[in-house]
């Protein structure tokens, strides 16, 4: 580093003032340039803002479309699995009943449900307006009516080694607390009466020696069960 020796005070003061002016000029030029850059940046941002915002919107729309293209096929593919899981949950506690979706799923040990049986057993499993007094009830994971176990093949019902055609009307009488009269027919009524009689389902504790019927204030008891009792056990 070198030093300049100035003996003249006037010249020295002049040089100092010039140095200070030059320093201030350099600082102002820097500030002006920096301010100009910032101004230019603001102008560019203002100019290109509509383009930037449009690009953001396009990007969001593309992301939504892409997500839709990915998730919709996956959701559709999972739907049968979800339905199968729901079916398994509803009917899982009945080991004697399973449902096969395809021919490949069929096992010789499985009971294949028909559409009618499946619909009514779903209602039974959900416990919505079902009659377990004069209809199906479950015990240890199997179906019973009265004192007898019930087997199901397709839609048909087997009780006391006799097979009954599983019509919507018979299932309506076996499961529903207040059967719809427009669904069951006379043949369904007769089959239901026979099942009740053979299984002692109308008697207290299903006692074969009892002459006393189960009583109920339900509409089903008044319109269906009591008439069947009078018809079957009249004079007993």
Tens-digit pLDDT profile for residues 157-167: 999 999 999 99
DSSP for 209-223, please give it: T---B----SHHIII
Q: What is the pLDDT of residue 1?
A: 45
Q: How many other CB atoms are there within 10 angstroms of residue 221's CB atom?
A: 19
pLDDT at 102 over 50: no
The domain limits of the chain are: 50-92, 103-233
Cβ burial, residue 232 (10 Å; 0-12/13-18/19+): middle
151-184 per-residue burial string, b: 16 or more CB within 10 A, e: under 16: bbeebbbebeeeebebbbbbbbbbbbeebeeeeb
Condensed to tens digits (0 to 9), the pLDDT of residues 26-56 reads 666 665 565 565 565 665 565 556 655 565 5
- The predicted pLDDT at position 177 comes to 93
pTM greater than the 0.75 cutoff: no
Which pLDDT band, with edges at 50, 70 and 90, does 135 fall under?
Answer: very high
Q: Report which of residues 188 and 4 the model is more confident about.
A: 188
Average pLDDT over residues 205-211: 72
User: Residues of the chain with pLDDT > 70: what percent?
Assistant: 54
The model's confidence at residue 179, banded by pLDDT at 50, 70 and 90, is very high
pLDDT value at position 11? Answer: 60
Q: What's the pLDDT score for residue 169?
A: 96
């Amino acid at each position: 580093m070198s030093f300049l020796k100035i003996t003249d005070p006037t010249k020295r003061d002049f040089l100092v003032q010039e140095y200070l002016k030059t320093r201030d000029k350099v600082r102002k030029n820097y500030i002006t340039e920096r301010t100009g850059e910032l101004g230019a940046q603001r102008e560019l941002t203002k100019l290109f803002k509509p383009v930037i915002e449009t690009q953001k919107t396009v990007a969001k729309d593309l992301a939504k479309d892409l997500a839709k293209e990915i998730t919709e096929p996956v959701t559709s593919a999972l739907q049968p699995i979800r339905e199968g899981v729901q079916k398994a949950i509803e009917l899982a506690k009945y080991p004697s009943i399973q449902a096969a979706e395809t021919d490949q799923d069929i096992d010789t040990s499985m009971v294949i449900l028909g559409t009618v049986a499946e619909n009514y057993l779903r209602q039974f499993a959900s416990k919505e307006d079902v009659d377990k007094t004069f209809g199906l009830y479950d015990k240890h994971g199997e179906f019973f009516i009265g004192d007898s176990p019930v087997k199901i093949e397709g839609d048909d019902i087997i009780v006391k080694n006799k097979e009954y055609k599983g019509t919507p009307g018979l299932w309506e009488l076996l499961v529903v607390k207040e059967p719809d009269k427009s669904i069951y027919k006379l043949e369904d009524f007769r089959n239901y009466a026979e099942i009740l009689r053979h299984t002692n389902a109308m008697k207290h504790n299903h006692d074969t020696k009892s002459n006393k019927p189960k009583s109920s204030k339900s509409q089903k008891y008044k319109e269906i069960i009591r008439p069947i009792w009078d018809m079957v056990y009249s004079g007993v």
